[in-house]
Amino acid sequence: MTFNTPPKKNNWSWRSQAFRGLIYQVIAIIAIAGVVWFLAHNTLTNMRVRGIQSGFDFLSQSAGFNIGESLYPFDSAQPYWQAFLVGVTNTLRVAVLGIILATVLGTLLGVGRFSRNALVRGLCMSYVEAFRNIPVLLQLLLWYVILTEVLPASSEAWVLGPLFLSKGGLNFPIPVWGTGQLWAAYGLLPGVLLGWVYRRWAVKQFEATGKPKSMVLAPLTILLLASLAGWALGGAPTEFNRPVKGDFAIEN
């Protein structure tokens, strides 16, 4: 025997907790909308009184400033939207390099903590234990002080052979991109394929004989040799864009 429970009726009484919650939410939404409208209206009125124009028309105007470092040429005569793209590309470049370097450093430190060498194991453990409990903001402040107070100005940069170290950063020779570098990049493709083939062969040999083969060093060597072979086929160029120390900055 089944009993059909009658559907609950909506209780619109103030004693209902659900009804009061609904009223409070409506009041909160109206209050937030009123504050947003007041701020927007006040801002637009003040901008109109002072003759300040709003919108994105300024993006097509000349920037009027230079950017010291960018992936493609930029000068003060170019518009703001290109300056914005330069900032985005610089941010992405720093982010990608930071991710790669952090991954490499973390992997080396993690492997080094299990090294049989007591010195390497101790150094890696000391680094991890020293920095793991220091807030990132404090670490950034430390590096900021080192880069802005300890390092010299660009006009008095420390010269370490072909390297220049100053508050402006670390400047070093950069290979001039050409046919040789393009062929070296092409050589990475067969290098990856050959490394994958070697790794599969090494796994099968280990399963058959029980003798381990190199799983990291050998594939990396194959990749490097393939890239060097492509570089050699491209003419083996050795032209570098070397940094030059100027009166106010170091030009690369």
pLDDT of residue 139: 87
The partner residues of 170 in beta bridges, in order of sequence, read 165
CA torsion sign for 38, 39, 44, 48 is positive
Domain match, 64 and 44 both = no
In a domain, 6, yes or no: no
Return per-residue pLDDT of the chain as tens, 252 residues.
Answer: 455 555 555 567 777 888 888 999 999 999 999 999 999 999 989 988 888 777 777 888 888 888 877 777 888 888 888 889 988 998 998 899 889 988 988 898 888 888 888 888 999 999 888 888 888 899 889 888 887 788 888 778 888 888 888 887 788 887 777 777 788 888 888 888 998 998 889 888 888 888 877 777 888 888 889 888 888 888 877 777 778 776 666 666
pLDDT of residue 30: 97
Domain match, 108 and 126 both = yes
Domain count, the chain: 2
240 to 174, 176, 177, 185, 227: CA distances (angstroms):
5, 5, 9, 17, 18
- Exposure string over 79-117, b if 16+ CB within 10 A, otherwise e: ebebbebbeeeeeeeeeeeeeeeeeeeeeeeeebeeeee
Domain match, 63 and 35 both = no
In a domain, 188, yes or no: no
**What single-letter amino acid sits at 86?**
V
Domain carrying residue 82 = 59-133
Q: How far apart are CA 242 and CA 163, in angstroms?
A: 9
pLDDT of residue 115: 83
pLDDT of residue 10: 59
This prediction's pTM: 0.50
Domain match, 73 and 119 both = yes
